[in-house]
Amino acid sequence: MNQMTDSHALDPEYLQEVRRARVQLARVFEPADRAGMALVHCLGPISLLETITANSAPPPWLLRKFHKAMTTWGLRGKPADLGTRFDAWRSRLPVVAPDIDARNCESLNAWVVIPEDPDWPEQLADLGVSRPIALWGRGERGKLAALARSVAVVGSRNASAYGAAVTREITHQVSGEGWCVISGGAYGIDAAAHSAALTAGTSELPTAAVLACGVDRFYPSANADLLGRIEDHGLLLSEVPLGCSPTRYRFLQRNRLIAALSRATVVTEAAWRSGSLNTAHHAESMSRDVAAVPGDVLTGGSAGCHKLIREGHAVLVNNGAEVLELLGPLGNDAAVGTHTQQDVSAHRPEDSLEPHLLRLYDALPLRQDAEPSHVCRVSGLSPTEVMSGLAALRSLGLATDSLLGWRRVGSTHGTANPRSPHGP
């Protein structure tokens, strides 16, 4: 009853049992409860749920498993921490029966996808131990695969006319090239991005909204019409079960999903303390590209964007063509109008890398050092492949190391964007 085996992966009855356990655990754990998530990875959802349900306190063997799991994921955790978490988990019992949850989903034309399903978004694996237990969705489930070609567009809820206009311009161009635009379904920049994507989108999935509440609740209520249109033409997603209300914590945790689902995150307008900066930092921690749009330095509405750019967390972009350039080779043609032809056609040293080295190069962050274990998780390569590949990249002048880890060395041929033209 530990981790799922390959034989179980083909067993529909076992998958259904795992699904039921995950749905119940999602009501027991808050999003990204690291102690709970680590134990899910260590024990499997079925065994963990049975243990929480059958014991009033964590049994000794679970304490040993907990210590091992936390060590494996590089997290801090003491036996006393598990006792506290265990009490909190049990305080939510009993939870809604899975059969009732399933009927409620069916009544809304909603569905649940779990990591064991073939259509689970693979990019969420980059979250490591913070990967969601499950995702609830509304819209056509078959469109989940299109999330692999998506970009997040986020910003302030209190958007200015300038912020809304630049968001629409960028979204129109990015959506027109077939990219899915992901945002949070909120007021301001989120709403402008979703609306523009629904108008201009050319892909089967023009936009997706990741909510901080259950997908049965359209929040904020003033965006109900917009969220309804997203359900009709795109996807509504949430990691919290039906009936859950939005809270500040859930909003902050929701941001990591927006970042993880997207190839890159674009902040079009953000004040100094905007929650969208949280999304940008999540993206950077997973070696995703981050871009920010500059604004008026006198009003403060773009102070967060300026901070990201000044501190080296984001690339400055002015329009949709430059966002496309950040996303991949397709954008090199789109950005001809903003760069010289020599810049566009110049050969980059990384263009001639072998596939596994290019994969490793793309996994390296540009502006901070990463430990080899982090690079392994992001690239999907083995420790041996990573260490030999890092040495090869260093010899080519494309990577550098320090006591803190490794980072990418940008191209030096003079383009405005030093990052690799390939997606993460």
* Residue 333: per-residue pLDDT: 43
Q: What is the pLDDT of residue 352?
A: 72
Alpha-carbon distance values, 77 to 39, 66, 277, 422 (Å): 12, 8, 28, 38
Output DSSP code: residue 127: G
Handedness of CA 31, 32, 38, 44 (dihedral sign): positive
Do 316 and 309 meet the contact criterion of CB atoms below 8 Å apart?
A: yes
What interhelical angle do 161-176 and 320-327 show, nearest 10? 50
What is the pLDDT, as a whole number, of residue 299?
Answer: 86
| Count of C-beta atoms within a 10 Å radius of residue 101 | 22
Question: How confident is the prediction for the chain on average, in pLDDT?
Answer: 87
3-state secondary structure of 402: strand
Query: Mean pLDDT, to the nearest integer, of 65-70?
Result: 85
Q: What is the mean pLDDT of residues 299-326?
A: 94
CA–CA dist 178, 28 (Å, integer): 38
How is residue 229 written in tokens? 């249109």
Residue with tokens 């970009």: 151
Q: What value does the CA radius of gyration of the chain take, rounded to a whole number of Å?
A: 22
Average pLDDT over residues 38-56: 94
State what percent of residues in the chain have pLDDT above 70: 88
**Per-residue pLDDT band at 80 (split at 50, 70, 90):** low
Q: What angle do CA 133, 139, 140 make, to 5 degrees?
A: 95
What mean pLDDT is predicted for residues 38-57? 94
Determine which of 107-111, 212-216, 410-414 has the lowest per-residue pLDDT on average. 410-414
pLDDT for the residue numbered 416: 33
* Nearest Cα to Cα of residue 191 among 217, 156, 215: 156
Q: What is the pLDDT of residue 10?
A: 55
Counting residues of the chain whose pLDDT is more than 90, the rounded percentage is 62
Name the CA dihedral angle for 18, 21, 23, 24, rounded to a multiple of 10 degrees. 180
Residue 397, classed as helix, strand or coil, is: coil
Q: What is the pLDDT of residues 111-121, one digit of tens each?
A: 999 999 999 99
Q: What is the pLDDT of residue 81?
A: 80
pLDDT, residue 11, reads 85
Locate tokens 């304490």: which residue?
Answer: 63
Tokens 């059969």 appear where?
Answer: 99
> Is residue 361 a contact partner of residue 411, using CB atoms and an 8 Å limit?
no
pLDDT in tens, 2-29: 444 444 455 889 999 999 999 999 999 9
Strands 150-155 vs 264-269: parallel, antiparallel or unpaired: parallel
The tens digit of pLDDT for each residue in 121-153 reads 999 999 988 999 999 999 999 999 999 999 999
Q: What is the pLDDT of residue 330?
A: 43
Whether the predicted pLDDT of 351 surpasses 80: no
Q: State the average pLDDT over residues 149-165.
A: 96
Full-model pTM: 0.77
User: How do residues 192-203 score in pLDDT, each as one tens digit?
Assistant: 999 999 999 889
- Count of all residues that appear for the chain in the document: 424
Summarize the confidence of residues 32-37 as an average pLDDT.
88
Average pLDDT over residues 256-266: 97
Domains and CATH numbers, the chain: 6-95 (no CATH), 122-337 (3.40.50.450), 343-408 (1.10.10.10)
